[in-house]
Amino acid sequence: MARWCAEQGWPVHPLAPGRKTPAANCPACKDKHHSPAGCACIPAGRPCHGFHAATTSTTRIDAWWSDQPSWGVGVACGDADLIVIDIDAHPVPVPDRSRLLPGIPIHDSVNLQGLASGFDTLALLAALRSQPSPAEDESTLRVRTPSGGLHVWYRNPHPATRFRCSTGSSTKTALAWQVDLRADGGYIVAPTTRTTHGTYLREGPSHLPAPLPEWLGEELVRTGHTIRRPLVSSGPVVSRSRRPRTSVRAHSVLDPLLQEVAACAATPEGAAFTEKLNKAAYTAGGLAAAGHLNEHIARALLREAAETARPWQSPRNERIIDDALAAGSARPFHLEGRS
């Protein structure tokens, strides 16, 4: 399967035997946190740092799986231009209807009796858009998971537009409750991979991903999944192109903090990145709560600065931003009297 994926142009990396997580790093990488981009293991052909080591090299693939035949296969979604809708069916309590489809209010007249999983919320979203549910899309590759979920694989038809990963439980960036997204900065388990819980099995007639439906792409844009690439310049900068016509004074407060975050790109360790991102997001939350900034635009600017500095830890960046924005929003930052 690893070779077959590579033949499709999808970079692959090993998964730990019997698990859906990446194979362990070498002892040196375990002992020291460092950027995958600066690690000598990857060019040397060692499968460290998960999807960052993914490759289409048949020589490297043969060497990896000849040495460890029990390894599973992971596919790096971003480099493969793949967008995978990960539908979960976990037996957990259903949240309030306001959290089922982020950004879409569900009227009390809508009967939600029987709703229990991501299959239901995705079907609800599709019905609201007068579209068929991706779970039933036989035109594309679908993979049944050991837990009863479903991976619906799509090809990104517009590679210039990039999408970030998300989890369906997120209160900020999510497509639907119990519906995760695997895209840039993430990986997906390849079909036929065996784990202790079962095997990932292809379902339906299609062996390859179809293009992402346009309506789904629009939903991903609406729910904040798009990634803006940092502009090429002499130093790390934060783009102003998406800023609304809001208070210039607010940006005069936030901009220096964003620049401090982005400048951490020059120092992989010891730059106080977490503290700087936390401060910037806390300030943005306060400015948004006081009405000086649009929260969605502020979040986009924070993500852009964080991705410029630490692109290998997107999920952690998201958590820092979410927590600090929430904390800041509890204390509105009023600018009266400031110049």
How does residue 85 score in pLDDT terms, banded at 50, 70 and 90?
Answer: very high
Residues 220 and 270 in one domain: no
- Mean pLDDT, range 106-123, rounded to an integer: 94
Q: Which of 76, 107, 132 is the last residue of a domain?
A: 76
Flag whether pLDDT at 294 surpasses 70: yes
Assess if residue 276 is contained within a domain.
yes
Assess if residue 334 is contained within a domain.
no
Assess if residue 235 is contained within a domain.
no
Q: Which of 76, 93, 118 is the last residue of a domain?
A: 76
Residues 98 and 209 in one domain: yes
Q: Which of 60, 76, 92 is the last residue of a domain?
A: 76
Residues 47 and 103 in one domain: no
CB contact set of 76 (below 8 Å; sequence gap of 6+): 10, 11, 12, 13, 51, 52, 54, 187
Flag whether pLDDT at 42 surpasses 80: yes
Flag whether pLDDT at 32 surpasses 80: no
Q: How many domains does the chain have?
A: 3
Residues 214 and 286 in one domain: no
Give the model confidence (pLDDT) of 202-256 as tens digits. 999 999 999 999 999 999 999 999 986 443 444 454 444 444 444 577 888 898 9
- Mean pLDDT, range 65-77, rounded to an integer: 95
Q: What stretches of 73-211 show up as alpha helix (H) in DSSP?
A: 118-128
Residues 109 and 200 in one domain: yes
Lowest-confidence pick of 133-147, 230-244, 297-311: 230-244
Proportion of the chain above pLDDT 90, given as a percent: 59
Flag whether pLDDT at 137 surpasses 80: yes
Assess if residue 335 is contained within a domain.
no
CB contact set of 175 (below 8 Å; sequence gap of 6+): 85, 102, 122, 125, 166, 168, 181, 219, 220, 223, 225
Residue 228 has what pLDDT? Answer: 60
Residues 198 and 280 in one domain: no
Residue, of 30 and 87, whose pLDDT is higher: 87
- Looking at mean pLDDT, say which of 67-71, 101-105, 140-144, 307-311 comes out highest: 140-144
Residue 336 has what pLDDT? Answer: 64
Residues 41 and 92 in one domain: no
Residue 230 has what pLDDT? Answer: 43
Flag whether pLDDT at 107 surpasses 50: yes
Find the angle CA(262)-CA(327)-CA(335) to the nearest 5 degrees: 75
The token pair that represents 132 in the structure block: 């068929």
Residue 64 has what pLDDT? Answer: 95
Assess if residue 312 is contained within a domain.
yes
The token pair that represents 151 in the structure block: 């991976």
Residues 197 and 291 in one domain: no
How does residue 160 score in pLDDT terms, banded at 50, 70 and 90?
Answer: confident
Flag whether pLDDT at 268 surpasses 80: no
Assess if residue 236 is contained within a domain.
no
Residues 209 and 90 in one domain: yes
Residues 47 and 175 in one domain: no
Assess if residue 223 is contained within a domain.
yes
Residues 214 and 103 in one domain: yes
Assess if residue 293 is contained within a domain.
yes
Flag whether pLDDT at 14 surpasses 90: yes
Give the model confidence (pLDDT) of 162-210 as tens digits. 999 999 888 778 999 999 999 998 999 999 999 999 999 999 999 999 9
The answer, as to whether pTM is greater than 0.75, is no
Going by C-alpha positions, the residue among 301, 303, 295 that lies closest to residue 325 is: 295
Range of the domain at 55: 2-76
- CA separation for the pair 254, 252 (Å, rounded): 6
Residues 86 and 223 in one domain: yes
